[in-house]
Amino acid sequence: MALYSVPEVTLTSSKQKMPVLALGTATFPPVDSKIVVNAVLDAIKLGYRHFDTASVYQTEHSLGDAIAEAFRLGLINSREELFITSKLWCSDAHAEHVLPALQNTLKNLKLEYLDLYLVHWPVSSKHSGKFEYPLKKEDVLPLDIKSVWAAMEECQSIGLTKSIGVSNFSCKKIADVLAFAKITPAVNQVELNPLWQQKKLVEFCKANGILVVAFSPLGAAGTSWGSNYVMESEVLNAIAKAKGKSVAQICLRWGYEQGIGVVMKSFNKERLEQNIDIFDWGLSEDETKKIAALPQNRVHRGEEFVDKNGPIKSIEELWDGEV
């Protein structure tokens, strides 16, 4: 019996129910597979049911092993109890490689279908069969999103994924997809936290029936692109102290109250429990106003895709001015 229950939201385009809080498995640099497996098992015991991975994270195998072990231990009884998200890497973001990439992901996970498959970045790269991050600048290619999205739609149509979506897409890039999509993206997963609230993007996506899901909800401290700004914020620390909560809990609760999904990553059992314990209390109006007034700064700027001689010549071009 799980200790906690996570609320679900219905994805507009697929009518599928998705737990609003997910455990992410991105590790840069990679960690031992046993660490990932044990963290996922701890999370399942606590009540996490949504797990987020990607081909480039190279944790699909580990997540698949953890799911198999959870079945063996009787922690879960059916595949339908879980919600599994993975992502199409840039080197596979070519129409003819989308289906094989998804099939490889399913093989890694030892699953028959995904719940959600995302285009990881609005960028393509030379098809190499490898998952390199960061990409070599000379390998970056413009994304033919129309043909790639048609291939994503086919993946949903044949039942290999229940829902499809995008990640790191600006309002303009979402609008471009909506102009030709037969299936509307269910999700746009983006960097989002109290110090990068993306209010315009959230409103645009909501108006078009797309759920925004936040990655780096705590600022991604310890990663190559992250920062300590969120966890060291005086405002957030003061709110946390006054409420007897951790800064992480304040950030995750704030995200939940924004009506978005949240992907957090911790492999520490104590923090996993703290981070799921956010659904039976709330922020006051005054606390919400203080968070709304925080200075804003995008941390994961995507410099690795930008080259004045390449297809994406500036940060502004990558994000269509949403910087």
Give me Rg for the CA atoms of the chain. 19
C-alpha 300/C-alpha 216 separation (Å) is 9
* pLDDT, position 306: 95
Per-residue pLDDT at 222 exceeds 70:
no
DSSP bridge partners of 211: 187
Half-sphere exposure of 234 (CA within 13 A, CB side): 2
Name the DSSP letter for residue 305. G
Half-sphere exposure of 49 (CA within 13 A, CB side): 23
Active-site option among 48, 57, 117, 229:
57
pTM metric for this prediction:
0.97
Spell out the residues 6+ positions from residue 278 whose beta carbon is closer than 8 angstroms to its own. Answer: 21, 249, 252, 253, 256
CA angle centred on 234, ends 231 and 236, rounded to 5°: 60
Token pair, residue 38, equals 């044990």
What pLDDT, in 10s, does the model give residues 79-104?
999 999 999 999 999 999 999 999 99
* pLDDT, position 75: 97
Token pair, residue 254, equals 């704030």
Token pair, residue 123, equals 């960028």
Per-residue pLDDT at 2 exceeds 90:
no
The phi, psi pair for 105, rounded to 5°, reads -60, -45
Q: Percentage of residues in the chain with pLDDT exceeding 90?
A: 90
C-alpha 322/C-alpha 70 separation (Å) is 41
Catalytic: 117? no
